A and B are shown apart, each in its own frame.
Chain A
């Protein structure tokens, strides 16, 4: 399976994944572009076609982590290029309720945020999430359970 073909086919989904992680469209597109350039430059083909998408999503998640890390170290705190989709000044997203949910999601620990997104946006099974995040399926289950509980608490506090 050709890496370029997977990226091309799933570009929008990958950008959406990155957007939810890093908060703004420009950074999200950069992450996907960067992941594409890296994997493409490395090797054009993947040995296991069934896992190709998990591999590519995993590369994108990694890129998102670097962006967040880089923002935090260079600028001492995370700053996106544009107002994040969950901010009040973002025109992209309609509805304060949705922004509130995304804001609460963004405040969760990284693993919980990633696992919840893969489950509730991409509707992936435990095993697929496990492969994408390179953790075990049982860790995925407990991470999602904890993430949902934390999200529920955060949303209750806000309302």
Chain B
């Protein structure tokens, strides 16, 4: 009376359900808990946090910081290919020397972008915009992240088939640049195909700044 598909489904569901043992469940609390950060993205997050953004906070156990860094590196819902984070005061990036990027340095970075033939377009995203977008995405969570945690950045889109690597190495050494993230590569690496490649040992590494 049951079809083979129904039997297989019952069996599969039962075995999946059986992996949750009652004794091992975290007790429920009336207090709201924060959402956990995707652990598979932690490697990505590390590269990021440290990417410009929020490196003044303790990492990497600090989930809000990780999440914010991740969000920044992913460029939220926009689709930058490359993200260039600018130094802010006390940013712990060697290239920053603890100083915020000056207006002249920022203009020089922008001139460099204008001169790169592989760039299709770029925008400047200030910390306020970055914060507003972050807050819109997480209205109820990570309230300890403030506007001051956010970095200014340039978000670059490349022409079709253009490579990010030479742009990244040219820009990341400019004065006042905290670090540069290959956002497109990161998102691919974090995604389904990237995960599979990772397991097969085929994963490409993304050109990103060092992890601190």
Contacts and interface: CB of A to CB of B under 8 A. Distances in A.
Contacts of B190: 75, 79
A87 to B, nearest CB: 9
Given A29-B26, A81-B39, A20 B191 contact: no
Contacts of A25: 19-20
A51 interface: no
Interface residues of A, number: 55
A143 interface: no
B122 interface: no
B141 to A, nearest CB: 10
Interface in B44-78: 71, 74, 76-77
Most A CB atoms within 10 A — which of B12, B37, B41? B12
Contact of B74 (A11, A74, A116): A74
Contact of A75 (B16, B19, B33, B41): B41
Contacts of A77: 191-192
B32 to A, nearest CB: 5
Contacts of B20: 12, 15-16, 19, 25, 28
Contacts of A83: 40
Contacts of B17: 16, 19-20, 121
Interface stretch (A88-96, A125-133, A134-142): A88-96
A74 B38 CA distance: 11
A36 to B, nearest CB: 5
Contact of A33 (B21, B28, B192): B28
Given A74-B74, A74-B76, A75-B74, A37 B33 contact: yes
B6 interface: yes
B26 A33 contact: yes
Interface of B: 3, 5-6, 8-17, 19-22, 25-26, 28-33, 35-41, 71, 74, 76-77, 137, 187, 190-192, 199
